[in-house]
Structure 1
């Protein structure tokens, strides 16, 4: 526990120390990524309390997530300063509303609803309009934006036009639904999260006794992530902090990525105009990332334009040198996912913890190929901020339609190829050839269905005679592989969900025009926000950073371009060479560089052939088991059961999911080939060098018929699954 103010200051660098000592009046802290802003503001509060300039009970620290608020309270306790209130805007307002409302109105406040969707659905029905669940969420998002920007229903159409938004329905319709929603909600005695702020503002604005009580209670305010404040939150802050002894705001305009919710950096950038005597402190010492990562981040913002760009911070890394960021070009999206998973497998085998690795993408719909590629490499993963691809409502519905269509007999054989059949079925679930305008849940649903269609196209390209039943079996296998339990794993997340997090190694994937910047970013301001989003992704990396893109969606598909944001960041060869400080172009497995930056020998990789019919295998599941799925299987079922039982024992010993040891496909291949030595075992797909070293002796012993003291009881370990799904006959 810190015992003195001097000890608080000793733990800080010169700029952080300036922040800590600014305990009176207004102070604006412009804090770049990784510069220790949370450390600076918590030490400022601790220094203020320990010197007597602040009282814990009169201090309120406001942030934007409960996680951040909890972290701040924990740090303050560690500094010997308990009792300081650290809350989100909504939590602080709800606390005040719950206390003062009964005193003013002699009754409880309206009941808080956790989701607006049921009330919005009722409002839609009242307006004699219909919308599916996805569109309902988008309309709900529009209502939230309107309330956050203090836009009344009648003013919504004009506000949308002025803001350049593309609502999911005509603006007049949404305004009508918005008005009905407010009327229905009030009639039921309910309030939503925006109402928590609005009603608190109303009490403070209209009841002098409430305003005076709150302003007497809190004399010192700290606001973190101030670039994310919206007009409603700023109005509440103004009422709270009028006459306060100190007000400290902290933010970074270059990390403004939530303007679609009403957030704006204008309050951060205009703080000194509203508070002319405010002290300004810039935190530019980056303690998170290596000079190579920081240099790339600085160069990315050097090309930015707009108001936020005028206030960008040139960061200076405080860490030792690290590897150069890698720029990787791939032939298609599948190759990109497989190469990324391969590199991650190498990092893990070389000692990097899976939890210190992240794959970041622009939209959640991009996750599926990385989920599959990591599962194929037996890499555990955690999907942050989104459902797994095959668990998404629209994907479950679509796969259900596809199964039903196959059971009913499918399309007329003359109707066309598999992809055309899938395209026709997806048309019944809301998919259309052209994406919907704007962003939001409707666009995300379309992207998920489009990804499902791309899977069909890829499957059909590999197996031109494939049927819908076979494609459904492929989807089931993919879904099953991705439902495996996970413990510590690689993080898969959208760039928005990655805000506030950091990892040793970060892979920024899918950096193509149309995805970064996203296709619907059609104004200069929106383009610049996309650049800032990429900047956030870059600055999540501590040591190793890989930026990748593909030349086509599918093998042999039409060409695509790398993101315009990469212009000027790649080497003079445009990203296709490999050398010190220059991009690595991984076009095939085995090529590239090692962890130490030295070149690895390029390994020529030939086709994997079916051990039964010798056909070249292209399907991932076929490559794993080493034969065509429709070729005869001679699996030794007893050995397969023994292998599964052994795998479960090892997984429990190591507290890992079973598939991380070996997947079912790899065990099937082992049980079919019964390898006699390490060379034969190593030739089986899925048996890496590391796994051979760890598990080779056990596996070979089982193949030789030796007892390893495992219990193959089917009641304990489950039945032996069929290798191929035979189509139903009736």
Structure 2
């Protein structure tokens, strides 16, 4: 896909913005009015579609940029959206998180709606929760305080009072936190609110609750907000909570100019109150909704996409409602690898050795990620990477802009910005300034604090180069302003080093190479989810998010034991069944399980199907039907396939049914590639059952023989 920004300095117009999009993205960008729902699969360019939609509306004169409110879930995503819109020539759009947008409104309207100054915002609940528990004479450790804090958040985003919490939590089957019962947890919640009142502070959930309260009670305030924001866009809509949905409804009022974008297959925050039903039922709440599906995956290779699709193919039908099946757009890449390891230490050593080989081949460490289910799994990986001198970044550690060397560097750049006369390119100026802070052209040898310091400064140099390439007229003052904006949004530039992160923390990110470790039962799905069907499916979606982070290379790894010499009692994750090559142990288990129901035998047979061209497992229904991977070249004669399509079209028209009712495209491809010469051969093709064989068999064989019969004179009966 072409970049939206042209090579000239001329500003973009509305048509030029559309030229950079694929057909489905263009449909989104052109849908400038009425309710719009975009079902966007991983890697399909949803942020591109959203920003170009906003830019198209503004440049076409249909919208005023300052009257657009684009809401997303992380400050980083909001900052990226603002940057893209600025590059498209549309500054002034308010792109914020729900909390940031609500806080801005609350600060503005609080003096007239309530009076006085808005109470201070407390960022962390732990101290207040611990004090509330202490008042109740409950002994709680740090882990219990963390769990209770999370439960407070869950109750508040669900708009549950402490009195209503116990019954609703039990109704939803939610375990009580920290070893307490639901009534005791409710007492802690009530005490937490009292501690906040005593200290005169509010928390992040209060920001949303108070904004909802003001908008509900003050019609003049609601009218002013709706007058200001006439066009609403919500990204990651599958993660909206009940409280956020209520706030969105109040922003919208009686209007219908709302565009929501989401992917139900990436709902992984139900524990925090996210409810994908807002996305799934959007068209029911908003009659006349236009739904657009973004299915073209520009991120990952066909091999990675096939594995991702296969993972969801095996989910219960009810769990994949409104699912988007991805269609790969990139060239073929290496097949995903599946590793079985003796124990966690052996797995970490293997990962480190494999990554070292990648780096030796010239691959960038910043384009490699190792992802895991729980943060406790990172320790052996950290040790193994450090033993090989490989730098790594632990997401969730010290924030980039909080590092001393970064703060010092920004101060130096701010001072130099006052005297930047534009005589040198931006990148050269930044290099000169940061040389005084310890940056050099060559990275220092080895690892440790010196290397980490250099990597932080190098990230600032690389960012300066990126800014200069995107906006050639920008100088040091503009770069400093961007750094300030990124610091506020915690939108860190890329730092050179292998990323270690949990699957939840990896959401919204991507790398060339991804290694998924610990894919054993008990870790994926996590043990406490094993007895809850809905929780298991959320674990499947979490693994799907992990798989779709990879652009080119993907490794799925598991261990048989936790510690060296331990009992090999672990089994590979159930989610890998039918996707990974069968081992000898699997074959032995399969030989002893040839019985079962017909459906079970059919499912096992489908899981063992392999491509007749490359031998890889077939992971989608369409691939199993044709007998080859979607990325492998077709082997049918084009004229034969077109003759079959023409016959199907005539037959469907005469029967007054859609063409797929006769045969799907995948079945036609399978017929064209197999070229069966007899009815018995035709019966062996997936998708042709006894009824269709009797109805269409002779006609299909006639088409293949080159003497297709003429269509009947009268209308055919409905099949």
Q: Give the TM-score of the pair, scaled to structure 1.
A: 0.65
- Residues 1:193 and 2:193 are matched in the alignment: no
Tell me the residue number matched to 2:253. Answer: 242
- Residues 1:343 and 2:350 are matched in the alignment: no
Does the C-alpha gap of structure 1 residues 574 and 562 become closer, same or farther in structure 2, counting only changes over 3 Å?
farther
Match of 1:142, SS state, is helix
- Residues 1:490 and 2:498 are matched in the alignment: yes
- Cα distance between partner residues in 2 of 1:229 and 1:573: 42
- Cα distance between partner residues in 2 of 1:547 and 1:204: 49
Tell me the residue number matched to 2:695. Answer: none
Match of 2:311, SS state, is helix
Match of 1:54, SS state, is coil
- Residues 1:110 and 2:150 are matched in the alignment: no
- The counterpart of 1:571, out of the listed 581, 589, 598, is 581
- Residues 1:90 and 2:62 are matched in the alignment: no
Does the C-alpha gap of structure 1 residues 310 and 575 become closer, same or farther in structure 2, counting only changes over 3 Å?
farther
Match of 2:339, SS state, is strand
Tell me the residue number matched to 2:266. Answer: 255
Displacement, 1:481?
A: 8.7
Deviations 1:81-102 (A, max 9, x none): 0100000000000000001010
Tell me the residue number matched to 1:500. Answer: 508
- Cα distance between partner residues in 2 of 1:196 and 1:295: 42
Q: Is the 8 A contact 2:391 2:447 kept in 1?
A: no
How does 1:574-589 map onto structure 2 within 5 Å? none
- Cα distance between partner residues in 1 of 2:548 and 2:88: 28
- Residues 1:305 and 2:313 are matched in the alignment: no
Deviations 1:386-416 (A, max 9, x none): 579xxxxxxxxxxxxxxxxxxxxxxxxxxxx
Give unmatched runs, 5+ long, in structure 2: 6-10, 400-445, 456-495, 588-609, 618-719
Match of 2:325, SS state, is coil
- Cα distance between partner residues in 2 of 1:483 and 1:312: 46
- Cα distance between partner residues in 2 of 1:484 and 1:346: 24
Tell me the residue number matched to 1:375. Answer: 386
Tell me the residue number matched to 2:65. Answer: 56
Q: Is the 8 A contact 1:337 1:369 kept in 2?
A: yes
- Cα distance between partner residues in 2 of 1:190 and 1:550: 47
Does the C-alpha gap of structure 1 residues 564 and 93 become closer, same or farther in structure 2, counting only changes over 3 Å?
same
- Residues 1:318 and 2:333 are matched in the alignment: no
- The counterpart of 1:208, out of the listed 219, 222, 233, is 219
Tell me the residue number matched to 1:228. Answer: 239
Does the C-alpha gap of structure 1 residues 379 and 481 become closer, same or farther in structure 2, counting only changes over 3 Å?
closer
Deviations 1:626-657 (A, max 9, x none): xxxxxxxxxxxxxxxxxxxxxxxxxxxxxxxx
- Cα distance between partner residues in 1 of 2:382 and 2:195: 42
Q: Is the 8 A contact 2:389 2:447 kept in 1?
A: no
Tell me the residue number matched to 1:66. Answer: 75
Displacement, 1:574?
A: 6.4
Q: Is the 8 A contact 1:215 1:243 kept in 2?
A: no
Deviations 1:51-83 (A, max 9, x none): 111111110000001110000001001111010
Name the Cα RMSD after superposition.
2.1
Displacement, 1:245?
A: 5.4
Tell me the residue number matched to 2:651. Answer: none
Does the C-alpha gap of structure 1 residues 525 and 306 become closer, same or farther in structure 2, counting only changes over 3 Å?
farther
Does the C-alpha gap of structure 1 residues 386 and 565 become closer, same or farther in structure 2, counting only changes over 3 Å?
farther
How does 1:688-699 map onto structure 2 within 5 Å? none
Q: Is the 8 A contact 1:329 1:575 kept in 2?
A: no
Aligned length: 492
Match of 2:167, SS state, is helix
- Cα distance between partner residues in 2 of 1:372 and 1:481: 13
Displacement, 1:554?
A: 2.0
Displacement, 1:106?
A: 2.6
How does 1:380-399 map onto structure 2 within 5 Å? 380-386=391-397
Match of 2:501, SS state, is strand
Q: Give the TM-score of the pair, scaled to structure 2.
A: 0.66
Match of 2:174, SS state, is coil
How does 1:444-483 map onto structure 2 within 5 Å? none
Tell me the residue number matched to 1:516. Answer: 524
